[in-house]
A and B are shown apart, each in its own frame.
Chain A
Amino acid sequence: MGKSDNNRSEGLLDLFDMAMDESDEKEGLSPLFSTLEASEKRYLDPELINSGGMKTISRVFDAVTGRYIAMAKLHEGAPKETYDPFICEARLTGLLEHPNIISIHDMGIDEDQTPFFTMELKQGDDLRKIISQKHSGNLEYLEKYPLNSVLEIFLKVCDAIAYAHSKGVVHLDIKPGNIQVGEFGEVQVCDWGLGKIIGKQDSSSNVEMFNPDWLNSMTLTGEIKGTPGYMAPEQVKDGKEKNETTDIYALGCLLYTILTNSSPIDGGTDEILEVTTTGRMIPPAQRFPKLNVPHSLSAVVMKAVSLDQNERYDSVIALRKEVYNYLAGFATSAENASFLRGLTLLYKRNKLICNVTFILSLVIIIGSAQFIINLNKKTAEAIAAGQEADEARKKAESLLIENQNEQKRVAALGIQKDLIQKTIIQQIDYSKPIKSVADKVADFENRPPGDAQMNILSEYYYIQQRYREVYELNKDREKPYYLFKHAPKFIDVPRTKSGLLNIDDFFKSILHFNLRQRDMLEKAMVWDTANRKNFQGYEKVVKLVLSGWNNGLKDSTFDYSPSTKSLSLSGADFKILGTEDMADNRNSLLAPLDLVSLDIRNTQIHDLSQLRGLNNLKELDVRHTLVPDLEPLNQLPAIEKVIVLPKQFSARQIKVLKPSIQVLVQD
């Protein structure tokens, strides 16, 4: 207890004295030495992290700032002559304030009366480790430090050295081991122990501190003045000035190492020094052909390590620019780039723009080609269409000629012009076919005889099933009407009570109408229907007439059920169920069947007005048709139900239907 109290009061008294001493120091009386001595208590827990030729670097805790920093000390027992060069290194480094140069925090004399200095402690690797890891194929390092990223580190080293040169300081020991690379790309050039002031610099700042005489004398000591392999010839052989170009040589060697992950020169120290002094370094691209060392950078290295100091780059900035040019994709001056090389580099540095341009060009070319091809195709189509049109025109012309010939013929027969008009020849009232046809016959019987008159009369006789008259009229003619040869077949066949041919015979007789005469077909059927009483089996007549108007019904079905009087049509050929816009009181071609139910699904039928005359039709299915309008159904007296698709008709279209018509919507 007593002892402890004593200790305590002793401690208090010491502190009292210390407090008073410090107040005295403020007055400038106390020597610097005493504050330097106090540093013993400032830096704690040293932990060796590196040891070099002259000094050791430890990690220490700085109790004042509360952080870990690096402390450099001379080796234990180092001779006193090394003290000043050591302090000189610290001062030299301290003078260089640059983000890529290690910064000095503090220096002083330790409790063992040896000098020390402290500097920032960087987490990370030095470049030597990075390169050796890359050399041994460590994937992590290969991935983290590709060539371009190490080249960027190199640029930062160049920045630091260029700055130092501007301040009149040369490093003289640039090598991978002296370059610290932080976790986040911080690069710092360390170990300025061989650094040297060169005399010719301007005296822009710190004149006293940079006094060459004072600092240079300090660097005369140590025996090793560089690292073999990175040392310039002038460092090996005395007699030549060591200046900025010496650092440029070392930077060239550093670049060599970065490019190849190997030292610039292999072998023992003597061998290395021999190669150095004779300048027989093998270019990186030549020594490591498999590494794909960029030729431009290989050339840069070889220029930087020229034996003659004057042949190296003029400045670090010039060297830096070369590497920068490579990274930016320009040609380096050292490689004497060809036009093609320049073009390649132009592509490399503008890859994105070039690629986009290329793709766009490609798109334009393909687009143009496509356009031209399409144009050709269209032209061909147009020509083909033209030809088709031409053919159609020729056909039309031939028809016209035929017609004209007919007209000529008619004219030659002395028939009045109006008689040859189709309407007059052909037109009948379909609501009164018997009378109408009879009128035509009477009309033409009373006309002066002639080819046209006889032909027309023949047609109408044929429609009236008066085959004997057809025969009699034509038997003496030079050019008898074409139906004349078929007429005799039907003269003596049995007839119905109404005097008509049986349905089968009637079917056969109208088979002989050629397709150009399909209006004759319709007339024949309409006249026959008007006279006939029993329509059993009549569907084949109807089908024949329909096929005359609907492309022959090649791919269609006509399915009639006599018991239910229902008909189902399907097929794309079905377009027309009633002719000539239902003019002249025409009824539907289906009218003879007296249908109750009609299914026209999957046909191209579009006009429901062509159903006129289906007076007993109750049900109609128009799904999958082209029918645009249901309104004509209102004219069908018996219609009850129409089947449509959902959304086939709008509500308004359905609304036009009579209320009695049920619209059934089905899929």
Chain B
Amino acid sequence: MILNTDSMKPIYVQIAEWLEGEILSETIKEEERIYSQYQLAEMFTINPATAAKGLNILADEGIVYKKRGLGMFVSPNAKQSILTKRRSQVLGQMIKELVMEAKRLDVGESELNRMIQQVRKENEEEQL
């Protein structure tokens, strides 16, 4: 992954999200050890304090937990809680913005629904 330094998202949030992606794709499985702050610092050429802050976000949300003297491990229900969180936060925010933009462009409810259905259909056709 390449960090986007111009993004509105701080680097440590990008680190946390990247780790979540690794857990979702099961590159790192539940109950397995996750990268240490020093490994992350080396991987992304960032200060270890930045990497630690990324890990702490996940620890605060219970996605990883600390085993004394052994490092950070992925929690048993990590995958599910990431999915739940992303659905409510990320998807929720996207929909909020979608609705706002539609309002600004004077796109009505049925028109918006039709556009969503259209994209869905295109995606399904691509997969066939």
B is bound to A: no
Measuring CB to CB, which residues of chain A are less than 8 angstroms from any residue of chain B? none
Measuring CB to CB, which residues of chain B are less than 8 angstroms from any residue of chain A? none
